[in-house]
């Protein structure tokens, strides 16, 4: 035998004499290839691709199990038969041989006849397997490369025995999913119908029918199916080609629906449609044509079009077909006559078309009686609207996209001092002053970009050069088929002048108020100098430094000192108020214990409390609370509120001070059982220099500045003050301050019931 044609046998053993022995035993029929290590064996397997491997089990680096496992896990040589050789095999070794993929094993010493028999048998099996594999591969290639959806179906169980790639892609299943299904799972035919088809195919050895198959996404597709029988490995299967015809089915259905729809459209059309031959004979018409002419459906077909349409139109019917006497699709207005003899205006249009080899004329008739009435009504309405627009006092103008006047009424011309025909066509920018230009442009852009209408004020210049203020109300309209801006304008020059006068008056009033504040501040400073002398010298006289005084002199000096100090307090209050109103007062923010500060104010007021036998109580939810504020002004707030309560509370009454915290605010209430305030004095309580009891013989004295300063100081801290009061039931003042001073918000004064006068 030629060496090139001999099957290759790879002999792997680390003992060279064993390799040589096996080579000698096989060389007459085979081509032995020696290898002396596992590494060398693996390399030779890849290079030579032998027909069989004899593999010694016990080797120093890699034993036979490992080498066998490596070869069998490689896709190229995995089908090469391997016989493992060993001096002994125990039961576990035999199991391991099977696990690593070996095909056979032989004990040492090796019988030459047995060796050659086993080698020959395994090589023959390998060649048969390769031939079968090659045949199956050819079949698979033909099967998978088929452009059609192809299935093999078991006629006895209806299971899909095989499917090509095109089938898997078409139905949306994997190969394993599709071959686990029956044909009845994807066919929407009832199972009995599917079984009947299969019986017929087996009987006739072929079949052709239409069906509907269901895809994985539940979509139903129309298919055309061709079936032949085929014998695969001794079993008769159904070779099935499936062709998707959904598109053609849809086209057929769409055509049928289109025809049906066309018939409905023609029949339901409000226009009359008449089809006639070249000589004018009517072959068909729709219901609207019958209605328009007042005929029955049976009366029109067979008539000549001359019996329905005007004579001048009838004479041109032939010319329309032959010479295109009337332009197609261009309607002409005609006066036509109904069956009952009445006339009506109509639009008539024609179109020539071919039906087979014969020319046909289709005539469209539209009754425009109502439209003519509407046009007359619209014309009358437009005239009325034009009269209304031209006689209104407000100006009305329409601007195009570029801001040019495309229409205006008489009031616009009068407002601008020019003839109306000179207004139209000019840009609105010609009339606007520079300061109003940007506003007008922005309004124009916004309204035309559908951002809504606007109401703006502009300054313009009339044709005489006189400046005017106008108010413009603009909105978007469609004018002659194009977007436009309609603006209603009103001359508000008189109003603007009145507003300017009011603003100037406000500025003058503010200036006068500042002058008053400055005067009070300066006057307060000037009065302090003589008062200082009056109080100082009277105190010296009272203390006897200038010599002894008699009883009357001593009483007079005390009056001078007391009233001087009262006057100084009044001047100080005026000065504090002037500074607060002028914005000169600043807060000296510091952290302090609010409980200690209130106790100091209470201690200072105790002599007054004891003198009037008033019950004074103080309760606090948080005695350890510290706040950030101006402690001096906080004490002034508390002192003024407490002294007011004591002053207006009769002997034997009570005054309560309550402190609580709510989130980031501290809330302090000073409540008494005093005389209360009438409800009609609600708005006066915090105004400066207001005394609710203004007669000369007032029961209670005071400047009326105490509560005004309280309100000012509370607001300077970003707080709010509230008051509740009823006549003869007492009053309650509550103010809130932030615990940590933040941005000052606008103060809010809430009052309920009656208020009391300030001290």
Q: Are strands 149-153 and 730-738 parallel, antiparallel or unpaired?
A: unpaired
Contact 374, 368 (CB under 8 A): no
Q: Are strands 720-726 and 750-753 parallel, antiparallel or unpaired?
A: parallel
H/E element holding 645? helix 631-647
The pair of structure tokens assigned to 4 is: 């090139």
Average pLDDT of adjacent 10-residue blocks, the chain of 759 residues: 78 90 89 92 90 88 87 87 78 72 83 85 80 66 75 89 90 92 88 82 82 92 88 84 86 76 77 84 86 85 78 55 49 81 85 77 86 79 67 83 86 82 83 87 87 88 85 88 88 84 81 70 69 78 82 83 75 68 72 93 90 92 90 90 90 93 92 84 67 46 71 89 88 90 41 38
Q: Which of 116, 41, 32, 127 is nearest to 80 (CA)?
A: 127
β-partners of residue 627 are 592
Cα–Cα distance measured from residue 237 to residue 382, given in angstroms and rounded to the nearest whole number? 84
Contact 178, 167 (CB under 8 A): yes
Query: According to the model, what pLDDT value does residue 668 have?
Result: 94
Query: According to the model, what pLDDT value does residue 703 have?
Result: 55
Cα–Cα distance measured from residue 303 to residue 116, given in angstroms and rounded to the nearest whole number? 106
Cα–Cα distance measured from residue 720 to residue 718, given in angstroms and rounded to the nearest whole number? 7
Query: According to the model, what pLDDT value does residue 320 have?
Result: 55
Which residues neighbour 402 within 8 Å (Cβ) at sequence distance 6 or greater?
427
Q: Which of 102, 105, 56 is nearest to 82 (CA)?
A: 102
Kindly tell me the burial class for residue 103, based on how many C-beta atoms sit within 10 Å of its own C-beta (0-12, 13-18, 19 or more): buried
The CA-CA-CA angle for residues 620, 626, 632, to 5°, reads: 95
Cα–Cα distance measured from residue 163 to residue 176, given in angstroms and rounded to the nearest whole number? 9
Evaluate the CA torsion angle 38, 42, 44, 48 in order and state its sign.
positive
Cα–Cα distance measured from residue 98 to residue 76, given in angstroms and rounded to the nearest whole number? 20
Residues 95, 96, 102, 103: what is their CA dihedral angle, to the nearest 10 degrees?
A: -10
Contact 150, 163 (CB under 8 A): yes
Cα–Cα distance measured from residue 277 to residue 301, given in angstroms and rounded to the nearest whole number? 11
Strands (E), 48-181: 52-56, 82-86, 104-107, 149-153, 160-163
* DSSP state string for 596-627: HHHHHHHHHHHHHHHHTT-EEEEEES-TT-EE
SS3 228: strand
Cα–Cα distance measured from residue 709 to residue 706, given in angstroms and rounded to the nearest whole number? 5
Residue 400: φ, ψ to 5°:
-85, -175
Cα–Cα distance measured from residue 293 to residue 286, given in angstroms and rounded to the nearest whole number? 11
Contact 395, 314 (CB under 8 A): no
Residues 456, 459, 464, 465: what is their CA dihedral angle, to the nearest 10 degrees?
A: -170
**How many Cβ atoms are within 10 Å of 265's Cβ, its own excluded?**
11
Query: According to the model, what pLDDT value does residue 707 have?
Result: 84
pTM above 0.85, yes or no: no
Query: According to the model, what pLDDT value does residue 754 have?
Result: 36
Give the CA distances from residue 512 to residues 38, 163, 515, 581, in Å, rounded to whole numbers and listed in that order: 115, 103, 5, 13
Cα–Cα distance measured from residue 531 to residue 548, given in angstroms and rounded to the nearest whole number? 23
Cα–Cα distance measured from residue 611 to residue 540, given in angstroms and rounded to the nearest whole number? 27
* DSSP state string for 287-348: HHHHHHHT--TTTSTTSBGGGTS-HHHHTTHHHHHHH--S-TT--EEEEEE-TTS-EEEEEE
Cα–Cα distance measured from residue 98 to residue 511, given in angstroms and rounded to the nearest whole number? 113
Q: Are strands 149-153 and 160-163 parallel, antiparallel or unpaired?
A: antiparallel
The pair of structure tokens assigned to 339 is: 């069956």
Residue with tokens 């008189």: 494
Which residues neighbour 55 within 8 Å (Cβ) at sequence distance 6 or greater?
12, 41, 64, 67, 68, 82, 83, 84, 85, 102
Cα–Cα distance measured from residue 654 to residue 616, given in angstroms and rounded to the nearest whole number? 6
Contact 75, 125 (CB under 8 A): no
Q: Which of 626, 711, 639 is nearest to 670 (CA)?
A: 639
H/E element holding 260? helix 246-268
β-partners of residue 304 are 281
Contact 102, 61 (CB under 8 A): no
The pair of structure tokens assigned to 618 is: 């103080």
Residues 177, 178, 184, 186: what is their CA dihedral angle, to the nearest 10 degrees?
A: 100
HSE value, Cβ hemisphere, 13 Å, CA-based, for 12: 31
Query: According to the model, what pLDDT value does residue 665 have?
Result: 92
CA 400 to chain centroid, in Å, comes to 34
Residues 517, 520, 524, 525: what is their CA dihedral angle, to the nearest 10 degrees?
A: 60
Which residues neighbour 153 within 8 Å (Cβ) at sequence distance 6 or greater?
159, 160, 161, 183, 198, 237, 238, 240
Query: According to the model, what pLDDT value does residue 698 have?
Result: 46
The pair of structure tokens assigned to 96 is: 């391991």
Cα–Cα distance measured from residue 242 to residue 122, given in angstroms and rounded to the nearest whole number? 43
């Amino acid at each position: 035998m030629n060496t090139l044609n001999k099957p290759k046998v790879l002999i792997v053993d680390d003992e060279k004499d064993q390799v040589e022995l096996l080579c000698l035993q096989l060389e007459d029929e085979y081509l032995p290839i020696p290898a002396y290590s596992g590494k060398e064996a693996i390399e030779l397997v890849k290079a030579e691709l032998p027909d069989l491997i004899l593999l010694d089990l016990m080797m120093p680096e890699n034993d036979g199990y490992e080498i066998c496992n490596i070869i069998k896990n490689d896709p190229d040589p995995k089908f090469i038969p391997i016989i493992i050789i060993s001096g002994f095999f125990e039961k576990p070794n035999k199991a391991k041989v099977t696990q690593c993929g070996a095909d056979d094993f032989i004990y040492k010493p090796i019988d030459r006849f047995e060796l050659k028999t086993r080698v020959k048998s395994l090589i023959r099996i390998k060649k048969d397997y390769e031939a079968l594999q090659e045949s199956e591969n050819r079949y698979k290639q033909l099967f998978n490369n088929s452009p059609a959806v192809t299935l093999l179906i078991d006629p006895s169980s209806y299971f899909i025995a095989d499917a090509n790639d095109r089938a898997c892609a078409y139905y949306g299943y994997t190969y394993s999913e599709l071959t686990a299904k029956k044909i009845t799972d994807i066919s929407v035919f009832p199972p009995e119908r599917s079984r009947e088809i299969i019986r017929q195919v087996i009987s006739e050895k072929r079949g052709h029918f239409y069906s509907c198959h269901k895809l994985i996404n539940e979509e139903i597709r129309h298919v055309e199916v061709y079936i032949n029988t085929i014998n695969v490995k001794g079993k008769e299967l159904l070779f099935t080609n499936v062709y998707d015809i959904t598109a053609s089915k849809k086209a057929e259905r769409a055509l049928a629906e289109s025809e049906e729809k066309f018939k409905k459209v023609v029949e339901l059309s409000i226009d009359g449609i008449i089809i006639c031959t070249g000589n004018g004979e009517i072959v068909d018409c729709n219901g609207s044509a019958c209605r328009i002419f007042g005929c029955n459906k049976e009366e029109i077909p067979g008539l000549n079009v001359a019996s329905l349409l005007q004579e001048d139109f009838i004479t041109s019917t032939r010319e329309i077909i032959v010479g295109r006497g009337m332009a197609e699709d261009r309607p002409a207005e005609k006066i036509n006559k109904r069956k009952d003899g009445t006339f009506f205006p109509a639009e008539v249009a024609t179109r020539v078309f071919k039906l087979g080899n014969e020319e046909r004329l289709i005539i469209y008739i539209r009754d425009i009686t109502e439209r003519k009435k509407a046009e007359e009504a619209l014309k009358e309405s437009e005239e009325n609207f034009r009269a209304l627009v031209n006689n209104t006092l407000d100006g009305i103008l329409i601007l195009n996209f570029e801001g040019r006047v495309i229409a205006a009424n008489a009031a616009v011309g009068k407002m601008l001092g020019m003839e109306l025909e000179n207004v139209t066509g000019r840009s609105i920018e010609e009339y606007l002053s520079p300061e109003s230009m940007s506003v007008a442009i922005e309004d124009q852009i916004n309204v035309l970009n559908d951002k809504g209408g606007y109401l703006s004020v502009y300054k313009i210049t009339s044709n005489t050069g006189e400046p005017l203020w106008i108010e413009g109300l603009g909105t978007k309209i469609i004018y002659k088929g194009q977007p436009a801006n309609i603006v209603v304008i009103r001359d508000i020059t008189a109003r603007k002048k009145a507003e300017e006068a009011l603003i100037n008056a406000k500025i003058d009033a503010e200036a006068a108020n500042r002058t008053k504040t400055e005067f009070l501040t300066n006057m307060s400073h000037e009065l302090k100098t003589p008062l200082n002398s009056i109080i100082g010298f009277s105190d010296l006289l009272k203390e006897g430094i200038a010599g002894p005084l008699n009883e009357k002199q001593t009483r007079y000096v005390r009056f001078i000192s007391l009233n001087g100090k009262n006057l100084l307090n009044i001047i100080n209050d005026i000065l504090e108020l002037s500074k607060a109103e002028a914005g000169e007062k600043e807060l000296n923010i510091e952290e302090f214990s609010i409980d200690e500060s209130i106790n100091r104010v209470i201690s200072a007021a105790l002599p007054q409390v004891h003198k009037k036998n008033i019950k004074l109580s103080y309760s606090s939810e948080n005695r350890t609370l510290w706040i950030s504020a101006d402690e001096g002004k906080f004490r002034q707030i508390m002192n003024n509120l407490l002294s007011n309560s004591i002053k207006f509370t009769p002997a034997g009454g009570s005054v309560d001070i309550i402190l609580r915290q709510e989130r980031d605010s501290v809330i302090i209430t000073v409540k008494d059982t005093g005389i209360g305030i009438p409800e009609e004095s609600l708005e006066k309580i915090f105004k400066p220099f207001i005394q609710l009891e203004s007669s000369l013989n007032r029961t209670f004295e005071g400047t009326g500045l105490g509560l005004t300063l309280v309100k000012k100081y509370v607001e300077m801290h970003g707080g709010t003050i509230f008051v509740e009061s009823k006549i003869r039931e007492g009053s309650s003042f509550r103010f809130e301050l932030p615990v940590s001073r933040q941005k000052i918000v606008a103060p809010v004064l809430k009052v309920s019931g009656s208020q009391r006068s300030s001290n």
